[in-house]
A and B are shown apart, each in its own frame.
Chain A
């Protein structure tokens, strides 16, 4: 036997052993780091988006969790802006490397839940205990016969405004049951008073929240049973209303609106350009830290015949990643963050007024004035007969992008509101066919 051959043999044996080890590693089931009976252990990753306050409170809550369960370490992955978080999460899920516990937005939970990326939390009760919860709240994020996320908190769509500036200009603050005509006259007062804001409001024509409320006021909704439920005429009516405001110079110009990136600090209100802004009520806390004067909160304007059409919803959910190596510990963490009184006290209302009754009771005495304002706003919405949002379908992101894009075409005068609305409806029909 010559040298080359023996070398080849060695090489071959090495390759065989190497690949065998690799195959073996791929073939064996992932070791479960914990079981429901034994002590939980291992490492978890958790990701969320939000402002600094949320980062600090969540990290403190994770530290409390690690203290309670000494075998578990939790690595925090947090992102400041929502769009960046959405991009990062989609890349992580595409690359099979998403965190074990994920803060999910109602805007994209369906996209992941219907593609099998999220665990069915029903299988993990216990450790998750929802006995005290409202049944409807538990079932809210049910997709493919599984609970793919649990509601963290409650909020609703809202109209925010710079109350300090309105007071300074001597303009009366809006009543909770104002309508779209009142809205226009207040914007007109703000602009003609020539205070610190050049415009009255951002452009709401391309906002799905505004469209939803408008549609509800006209006897329809954005989605019913995962299908779009609106007509081109309805959309064109809304766009014509906003077009009128734009012509009168009451709302921001198209280029300012087009620069908006869904980040709170990029809104015209925070940038000092417009006095009114639409957002979900849970952003009140953050808005108050970003706007120097006092921020007021009101429902979206009613229709002129008094229809409220307001929306309440869960701004976010906690979900567990479908490929988590440690699902039991992940479920334990979700339960801790949602229900545990100690965690509730640390987290406060950084993710809005908690959905969990235990957590709500735990922080009842700790509410700040801002929290009370948020809670009071939910009562206002209740009185207005606000109805929970119908779940956003899996292709919602596509739809939202199409709404923004077609509305931009109308804003910039590249197409008429009728033609644009027709195109949006066509595109929606294609997306949800």
Chain B
């Protein structure tokens, strides 16, 4: 698991090119040209699909732009309005809850299952595939509609509860439970972190466990003192990835709430509000400002995570 750390390091360190002597000048320039030529499909894609739209949206975030008429410069207006917008603050709160609850639960679930699957069960490949499947389809519209039906008034969940005589209700249209169904859906897509955990568990040398067993450590001791510390780089990696993912959740909340973020804005996840401001209410400048604040929030959280990682992530070397 030092590989992950190394990858992080390698990305940031660039070796300065040796100063070319005039003899080699022409040849190295030719090589550079060839390199850029080969890179060009990627560079063109990066510029056209990522960089230009990003710069455009940064510009638009300082304008009043309704998509149909030319944008009008308004300076920081959009950003100051955001701070006074109760729905925006609500969206921030809902998203924070969503991330803070679903990511730890999802990772705990993924780790627990990875440890069970790591034991070499019969038919292991089948189980791995079966548990990975929700990750592939969890963000799709079809699953969101399935969820809507599961937790609706006539849904399967209510049918099950009715067997035990429990009063039924529509889970997705009750403001107390609607966000819970979304969190459950996110937890259910634990397959991707699970696979990464599995790979990490495989790399822990068996000698550590043997040594611990000889010293009389039980399963809990072995997890706390061997598995967990050696797995921290993987956990760290998964935390970063899943936090970013969770902040960008959209499809599930959009489909399940019918595009409104309702009831009572209880499922008004950040990107749902952003979408509805930009594409439904035609306030694209305002929506762009929201998008940029989201970028800053995610970047800041990732930075904080990296700082905190010094205190709990152990690299084995």
Contact = CB atoms under 8 A, between A and B. Distances in A.
Contacts of B281: 397-398
Given A255-B153, A255-B169, A397-B280, A412 B175 contact: yes
B69 A116 contact: yes
Contacts of A401: 260
Contacts of B30: 4
B79 to A, nearest CB: 18
B264 A409 contact: yes
A405 B265 contact: yes
A6 to B, nearest CB: 14
B258 A83 contact: yes
Contacts of A412: 174-175, 263-264
Contacts of B33: 4
B118 interface: no
B67 interface: yes
Contacts of B59: none
Contact of B262 (A87, A397, A408): A408
A397 B166 CA distance: 38
A256 B153 contact: yes
Nearest to A410: B264
A116 B264 contact: no
Interface string B246-274: 00000000000011101111000000000
B41 to A, nearest CB: 15
Contacts of B264: 258, 405, 408-409, 412, 414
A151 B66 CA distance: 26
Interface in B12-67: 30, 33, 66-67
Given A115-B282, A412-B263, A93 B68 contact: yes
Interface string A392-408: 00000110010011001
Contacts of A83: 258-259
A185 interface: no
A259 interface: yes
B49 to A, nearest CB: 16
A258 B258 CA distance: 11
A94 B173 contact: no
Contact of B170 (A256, A397, A414): A256
Interface of B: 30, 33, 66-69, 152-153, 169-170, 172-175, 258-260, 262-265, 279-282, 284
15 contacts: A4-B30, A4-B33, A87-B259, A90-B280, A94-B68, A111-B282, A112-B68, A255-B153, A255-B263, A256-B173, A258-B173, A258-B174, A259-B170, A412-B174, A412-B175
Given A90-B280, A90-B282, A259-B172, 20 more contacts: A4-B33, A87-B279, A93-B67, A94-B279, A111-B282, A115-B66, A115-B69, A116-B69, A253-B169, A255-B170, A255-B174, A255-B263, A256-B173, A258-B170, A258-B174, A259-B152, A404-B260, A408-B175, A412-B263, A414-B264
Going nearest first, the 6 A-B pairs with the smallest beta carbon separation are A258-B173, A259-B173, A258-B263, A115-B68, A255-B170, A94-B67
